[in-house]
A and B are shown apart, each in its own frame.
Chain A
């Protein structure tokens, strides 16, 4: 059987290939030869001491660094070539490449969106029209278009919690259909965005301090909900 990356069989082990090169014996014992010529006992003593040293004495022993790890910075030092394009530290504005074409009877409006991460489901946050109170806000799913407008957290560090409790000025419409969340067994409203403009971090609206409680069905004992996505946890009732 050819292993994946079969060429690795012919390569030296990583530790040998990447470790420090062994020191030549000539340079290692040059000082002791000088002493031996001057004084036999002193030379013999220095030979014994040098022989007791480990072969790779120049390799520093592994230490637990007391220094904190380097901070995650969006701007690497000029000497380091960035391996991955730097992620913005703040949500960025987005605009759909083409104007939306909402279904008949639906018009594009201005909304305010409050991102509220839901560990149990896949809803995005609360959305209300600009002139409405937060009590009228709806819990929505954010429609994403690959190559177009996506959920803002995708443009940050790709963690779903990256923009929790951040507010946005949104332009778009509420879709006339709902979508099914299999993790909470609920149908949720959909917001279709045309543009996203970050406003800044904000405290959760008092009327909606977090995601809505889920209408989970009572499980039977033989069928626990199986969720393996670490970003999604089963609701408390099913744990």
Chain B
């Protein structure tokens, strides 16, 4: 049993002008800022976005010891698995719009290489899920969508998932698609300033499922948006044709 402690002697209240001033300023600030925060945190509408980068060309990757993207659909199958999860989470919640953004040129190139009509297969996946599919061809188009795909004051981004190639400093929507071992369309951490802060909810859930994002990109993201991005320290593996898992020795960080 803990013996009840005698109450501490009350100090007589003494008015102090500096304290009163500080209290008044703080109260005013909270009164002014709280409605805005509440509105942002409890937006009536929000958008949950899944982004799929594109696969490499076998022309460039064939024969390499660490050959990427033997299967063209790694980033599609993983995104579909995530979209299904999001649909379950959104059940019963009003005002949630789920969108799927796919980097088209890489799949068009791979289609030509494999002589396989890949784009309709991706459209079919979106139709089955009844989710709007948006193709993007450049990084600029993606940034435009994040900033203004919807009125972000009304419908901010509440969730963002990225599936694709990446390193510690960059999300690469193509890799070995146009240039061997290189990327033409990518989002570098130094370019995050092109995305508006207000595009995201303050409690948005953001995750990169690519390799190495948690080593540096996540920190830049947090500094820019104030919203953490979960990313891998190490590599991720898409071999299961579902959500990728961490390779040996890797871990998630934010």
Contact = CB atoms under 8 A, between A and B. Distances in A.
Contact of B167 (A141, A177, A182, A228): A182
A179 B180 contact: no
Contact of A230 (B57, B65, B169): B65
A58 interface: no
A180 B64 contact: no
Interface stretch (B10-18, B34-42, B116-124, B182-190): B182-190
Interface in A177-191: 177, 179-183, 185, 188, 190
A229 B178 CA distance: 18
A109 interface: no
Interface stretch (A61-69, A94-102, A219-227): A219-227
Determine the interface band of chain B, counting residues with CB < 8 A from chain A.
20 to 34
Interface of A: 122, 141, 143-144, 146, 151, 158, 177, 179-183, 185, 188, 190, 217, 220, 222-223, 225-226, 228-232
- Chain A interface, DSSP helix/strand/loop, else mixed: loop
A217 B179 contact: no
A218 B167 CA distance: 15
Contact of B181 (A183, A222, A225, A226): A183
B142 to A, nearest CB: 15
B233 interface: yes
Contacts of B181: 122, 181-183, 229, 232
Nearest to B169: A185
A182 B183 contact: yes
B66 interface: yes
A144 B180 contact: yes
Contacts of B170: 180, 182, 185
A182 B187 CA distance: 12
The residue in B170, B215, B235 that gathers the most chain A C-beta atoms within 10 A of its C-beta is B215
The residue in B57, B113, B184, B235 that gathers the most chain A C-beta atoms within 10 A of its C-beta is B184
A141 B234 contact: no
Contact of B183 (A146, A158, A179, A231): A179
B179 A226 contact: no
Nearest to B233: A223
Given A229-B66, A232-B181, A222 B169 contact: no
Interface string B52-87: 000001011001111000000000000000000000
